Chains A and B, each alone.
Chain A
């Protein structure tokens, strides 16, 4: 087996969509991973922001010894 360089478009696609299942799987997995990563990042940001603000408010209300 030798690597084939992707440099040229096929002159005639005799088997169009031959590996559509593989292509779809790659795109779906990528979309899911990036969506989960984004959602996890945003949720963690919201959670820690709220926690920090809550503790800051509590610290302001608590009289210093």
Chain B
């Protein structure tokens, strides 16, 4: 299937129905997740701040997942020169940056009442801040170089180097003494009252990313088509 989608025309046909479908799933999952999240019981020692978890955790997980997508797309663009992979990498970065910013902001809002501090130079927080700076660096590098092919290659190298930060974020709570709690999801000790809203919000954030990514790749295809056509028009006028 992926091989078929490498063709931009086939991708346009696929994304035309897939993007609204993911958008609809996101809307339903986020609405239901919000409903359950705001009715979840307060947690021992955390009171109602536990509800921030339902928006903080999906944003934090997706921020890493999107960077992995960016890394894979960059690898395909760099090694196999797939134009669509380059477009996918470019399209993923702003969404990833927004999700990472949300993880940092909601984490900070959680930290103030829970730990008594908006920010701490803790391993987990600092490595997520580095992830945010990597996203910004990727976008800035692409914007700074006029030649799109060169910009794509330089940014892809930066993205691949940055992938090393993903395991650092994941294991930071085990490698260093951290205020941030370790893994709760998947260990089976998350209260069931919190599992449903968290799962729904997770599906909502993931589907929203899927929808926005497809929309942004479509935009990139149209943008490059428009740039190509305007160049051809300018060339035709010059030689007329």
Let me know if A6 and B106 touch, CB within 8 A: no
Known: A7-B190, A16-B42, A26-B110. 20 other contacts (CB 8 A): A1-B115, A3-B179, A5-B189, A6-B190, A6-B194, A7-B189, A10-B45, A18-B47, A19-B49, A22-B52, A23-B48, A26-B105, A29-B109, A34-B98, A44-B216, A52-B222, A55-B229, A56-B229, A64-B236, A65-B240
Contact of B215 among A6, A11, A20, A45 (CB under 8 A): A45
- Cβ contacts A to B, 10 pairs, < 8 Å: A4-B114, A7-B190, A10-B47, A16-B47, A20-B48, A22-B52, A30-B102, A34-B98, A64-B236, A65-B236
Let me know if A45 and B222 touch, CB within 8 A: yes
Closest 4 interchain pairs by CB? A55-B229, A48-B222, A9-B41, A52-B226
CB distance from B60 to the nearest CB of A (A): 12
B219 at the interface (CB under 8 A from A): yes
Q: Take A5-B184, A5-B189, A48-B226 as given contacts and tell me if A18 and B48 are in contact as well, using a CB distance cutoff of 8 Å.
A: yes
Complexed CA–CA distance, A38 and B216 (Å): 10
Let me know if A9 and B109 touch, CB within 8 A: no
User: Which A residues are closer than 8 A to B by beta carbons?
Assistant: 1, 3-11, 13, 15-20, 22-23, 25-27, 29-30, 33-34, 37-38, 41-42, 44-45, 48-49, 51-52, 55-56, 58-59, 62, 64-65
Complexed CA–CA distance, A21 and B240 (Å): 66
Which residues from chain A contact B46 at a C-beta distance below 8 Å?
A: 4, 6
Q: Take A13-B42, A48-B219 as given contacts and tell me if A38 and B212 are in contact as well, using a CB distance cutoff of 8 Å.
A: yes
Let me know if A51 and B226 touch, CB within 8 A: yes
User: Which B residues are closer than 8 A to A by beta carbons?
Assistant: 34, 41-53, 55-56, 59, 94-95, 98, 101-102, 105-106, 109-110, 112-116, 178-182, 184, 189-191, 193-194, 208, 212, 215-216, 218-219, 222-223, 225-226, 229-230, 232-233, 236, 239-240
Q: Which residue of B lies closest to A9 (CB)?
A: B41
Which residues from chain B contact A62 at a C-beta distance below 8 Å?
A: 233, 236
Let me know if A23 and B41 touch, CB within 8 A: no
Which residues from chain B contact A27 at a C-beta distance below 8 Å?
A: 34, 51, 55
Q: Which residue of A lies closest to B106 (CB)?
A: A26
Complexed CA–CA distance, A16 and B48 (Å): 7
Q: Which residue of B lies closest to A59 (CB)?
A: B229
Q: Take A8-B191, A41-B219 as given contacts and tell me if A13 and B56 are in contact as well, using a CB distance cutoff of 8 Å.
A: no
